[in-house]
Structure 1
Amino acid sequence: MKIIAFCAQKEKHIGVVQDDKIISLTVLNPSRFPPCIKTFIEGSDDLRKHAEQLLEQRNNENSVFTLSDVKILPPISQPEKIICVGLNYIDHCKETGMEPPASPVIFSKYANAIIGHNDAVEIPINSNEVDFEAELVVVIGKEAKCVSEEEANNHVFGYTIMNDISARDLQFNDGQWSRGKTADTFAPIGPIVVTQDEVGDPHQLSISLVLNGEIMQDSNTNNLIFTVPQIISFLSQSMTLKPGDLIATGTPPGVGMGRNPKVWLKNGDEMNVKIEKIGTLTNFVQNRQTN
Structure 2
Amino acid sequence: MKLFTIRNEKEEFVAVLKKDQKTLIPISALGLSHKDMNQFITDATEDEFSMLKESISLDFLPENVSENCIALSDAAICAPIPKPNQDVICLGINYMAHAEESARYKAEAFGGERSYPIYFSKRVNQAIGTECAISSHSSIVDSLDYEAELSVIIGKNAFQIKKEDAYDYVFGYTIINDVSARNLQTRHKQWYFGKSLDGFLPMGPCITTSDEIISPPNLKICSRVNGELRQNSSTAALIFDIAYVIHELSQGMTLKAGTVIAMGTPAGVGMGFQPPKWLHPGDVVECEIEKIGILKNTIK
Regarding TM over 0.5, the answer is yes
> Helix, strand or coil: the match of 1:218?
strand
Mapping of residues 1-150 of structure 1, within 5 Å: 1-18=1-18, 19-29=21-31, 32-44=32-44, 45-52=46-53, 54-55=55-56, 56=58, 58-59=61-62, 60-81=65-86, 82-97=88-103, 98-99=110-111, 100-112=113-125, 114-124=127-137, 125-150=139-164
TM-score (norm 1): 0.93
Percent identity at matched positions?
A: 39
Number of aligned positions between the proteins: 284
In the alignment, what sits opposite 1:289?
none
Amino acid of the structure 1 residue aligned with 2:215 = D
Which one has a larger percent strand, Structure 1 or Structure 2? 1
Aligned to 1:268: 282
Q: Does 1:218 align with 2:218?
A: no
Contact kept, 8 Å, 1:5 with 1:35, in 2: the verdict is: no
Runs of 4+ in 1 over 6 A off after TM superposition: none
* Preserved contact between residue 113 and residue 188 of structure 1 (Cα < 8 Å): no
Q: Report how far residue 63 of structure 1 moved.
A: 2.3
Where do 5+ consecutive residues of structure 1 fail to align?
287-291
Could you say what secondary structure the match of 1:13 adopts?
strand
Q: Alignment RMSD, CA only?
A: 1.6
Greater CA drift, 183-192 or 109-118: 109-118
Aligned residue number for residue 297 of structure 2 = 283
| CA distance in 1: counterparts of 2:272 and 2:290, whole angstroms | 24
Contact 1:3–1:192, Cα closer than 8 Å, also in 2: yes
Residues 1:52 and 1:204: Cα distance change in structure 2 (over 3 Å): closer
Provide the C-alpha distance between the structure 2 equivalents of 1:269 and 1:69, rounded to a whole number of angstroms. Answer: 24
Query: Which shifted more, 39-48 or 166-175?
Result: 39-48
TM-score, normalisation: structure 2? 0.90
1:43 CA displacement:
1.7
Q: What is the alpha-carbon distance in structure 1 between the residues aligned to residue 217 and residue 260 of structure 2?
A: 17
1:68 Cα deviation from its structure 2 partner: 1.5
SS at match of 2:218: coil
1:220-242 deviation line (CA, Å, top 9, x unaligned): 11110001100111111121101
Contact 1:86 1:104 in 2 (8 A): yes
Unpaired stretches in structure 2, ≥5 consecutive residues: 104-109
> Helix, strand or coil: the match of 1:147?
coil
2 CA distance for matches of 1:163 and 1:130? 12
Cross-structure match for 1:164: 178
Corresponding residue number in structure 2 for 1:249: 263
Is contact 2:90-2:262 (8 Å) kept?
yes
State the Cα distance separating 1:109 from its structure 2 match. Answer: 1.1
The answer to whether the 8 A contact 2:167-2:215 is kept is: no
Tell me if the contact between 2:123 and 2:192 (Cα under 8 Å) persists in the aligned partners: no
Do the aligned residues in 2 keep the contact of 1:203 with 1:227 (CA within 8 Å)? Answer: no
- Counterpart contact for 1:77–1:111, Cα < 8 Å: no
